[in-house]
A and B are shown apart, each in its own frame.
Chain A
Amino acid sequence: MDRTLLDLWVGIFVAIGIAALFVLALKVGNAGTTFNTGATYHVNAEFDNIGGLKVRAPVKSAGVVVGRVEDIQFDSKKFTARVTMKIDKRYEFPKDTSVSILTSGLLGEQYVGLDAGGDSDMLKDGDTLKLTQSAVVLEKLIGQFLYNKAAEGGSK
């Protein structure tokens, strides 16, 4: 079989199509981070209230993304939320690291913040973090504020 002009055109077409898919995957999407599943370790934390935290939300320390939330489960014995995080192997944290649920901006998405402690032992795969701080629920905050105001007014 001889090569024909038709082959050239179809070749160009398929090449452009596949190139477009690659551009979408790498330049537009975040395939780079989706496929980067190699070196991570898991850490658990229990919260009284996780607010609006979602699976795949970023885990940040000092503002840098160091991992992602992998799983959120409800513990029906302790009535707490159990959050499993996947943290990049390159980043190690002390055993007494405290973990809190924060909000980026006033109305932004919620993420998990890690504050390193001073322990010399490092976290290992499957460890559970003890020092946790729940998400701030705006309604509770406003309720508390109103209650305090009312108490002030009563004492006068």
Chain B
Amino acid sequence: MHEHVAKGLRIVGRRVINGVWRLGYASRFFLFTLARSATSFRRFRGLTFREIYFAGVLSLIIIIVSGLFVGMVLGLQGYETLQRYGSSEAVGTLVALSLTRELGPVVSALLFASRAGSAMTAEIGLMKATEQISAMEMMAVDPIARVIGPRFWGGVISMPLLAAMFSAVGVFGGYLIAVVVIGVDEGAFWSQMQSAVDFRQDIVNGVIKSVVFGVAVTAIALFEGYDAPPTAEGVSGATTRTVVTSSLAILGLDFVLTAFMFKGI
């Protein structure tokens, strides 16, 4: 009996210590990435540009298509509820506010984590498994400056642009459904939206959110890849952990940021 309890406690203790250990290692990794990111900017065209292409340009299709559908669903559902209270013109306000404040940054970051984050983890994990990272160190090339830094900045630059596209396309989707299909008055749709959405309060805060999510997702993805055990199983596990951890981080950070940003409203 006592042995079982002791064994259970040992397992819990090991998990906790390992978790704290990894957190510390991850923080040091993140600081190193920031400290050595001078290379990413000095060789911006050669290194970081390529990563903007992989993280940003290749995510364009999924971001635009899902933005359109999310906006269309918001338009349909919003109209359905608002017309009961005779204020169906407010559907523009509903679509624009929910997209710029929450759904644009959050959903595009979730898509970005599963589309680009998992790819980053798998790429770096495989580079490590096939000993490319060790080979770089042997040649006195700093892998953090050469491999991690450009990917980090590529992701951080791409994320707010993708979130802005998501919101803009989503508003267009809401317009298509509410105005073109259902027939809400076009002037009221836009004017109510414009009087309700504040540039500083809503749009700038949404951009700040997406920058924070971009930092979180790319940092988690790169660390998981760098820390992955150099086996096929290790890389697959790290890829899964990237998606799970960064999704949780996005939603948790979103709550914290929202509590700070919109407490006065």
A residues with CB within 8 A of B:
1, 6-7, 9-10, 12-14, 16-21, 23-25, 27-31, 34-35
Identity of the chain B residue whose Cβ is nearest the Cβ of A31 in the assembled complex: B199
Interface string of B157-190 (1 = CB under 8 A from A): 0101110110111010000000000000000001
Would A24 and B161 be within 8 Å (CB), given that A10-B52, A30-B195 are in contact?
no
User: Please, which residues of chain A bring their CB within 8 A of the CB of B203?
Assistant: 21, 24-25, 28-29, 31
Would you call A27 and B190 a contact (CB within 8 A)?
Answer: yes
Would you call B197 and A30 a contact (CB within 8 A)?
Answer: yes
User: Please, which residues of chain B bring their CB within 8 A of the CB of A24?
Assistant: 100, 164, 167-168, 171, 203
Among A1, A12, A21, point to the contact of B207 (Cβ < 8 A). A21
Chain A min CB distance to B242 (Å): 23
Identity of the chain A residue whose Cβ is nearest the Cβ of B166 in the assembled complex: A20
User: Please, which residues of chain B bring their CB within 8 A of the CB of A31?
Assistant: 199, 203
**3 tightest A-B CB contacts, nearest first:** A17-B161, A20-B168, A20-B164
User: Please, which residues of chain B bring their CB within 8 A of the CB of A16?
Assistant: 60, 161, 165
Would you call A34 and B198 a contact (CB within 8 A)?
Answer: yes
Of B56, B161, B167, B169, most buried by chain A (CB within 10 Å of CB) is: B161
Would you call A10 and B49 a contact (CB within 8 A)?
Answer: yes
Q: Which residues of B95-113 are within 8 A (CB) of A?
A: 96, 100
User: Please, which residues of chain B bring their CB within 8 A of the CB of A34?
Assistant: 198-200
Would you call B161 and A13 a contact (CB within 8 A)?
Answer: yes
Among B50, B100, B165, point to the contact of A28 (Cβ < 8 A). B100
Chain B min CB distance to A108 (Å): 11
Would you call A7 and B49 a contact (CB within 8 A)?
Answer: yes
Would you call B50 and A6 a contact (CB within 8 A)?
Answer: yes
Q: Complex: how many Å from CA A20 to CA B170?
A: 11
Would A21 and B164 be within 8 Å (CB), given that A10-B56, A28-B171, A28-B194 are in contact?
yes
Told that A14-B52, A29-B198 touch, could you supply 17 new A-B pairs with CB distance under 8 A?
A9-B53, A10-B52, A10-B56, A16-B60, A16-B161, A20-B169, A21-B168, A24-B164, A24-B168, A25-B199, A28-B100, A28-B168, A28-B197, A31-B203, A34-B199, A34-B200, A35-B199
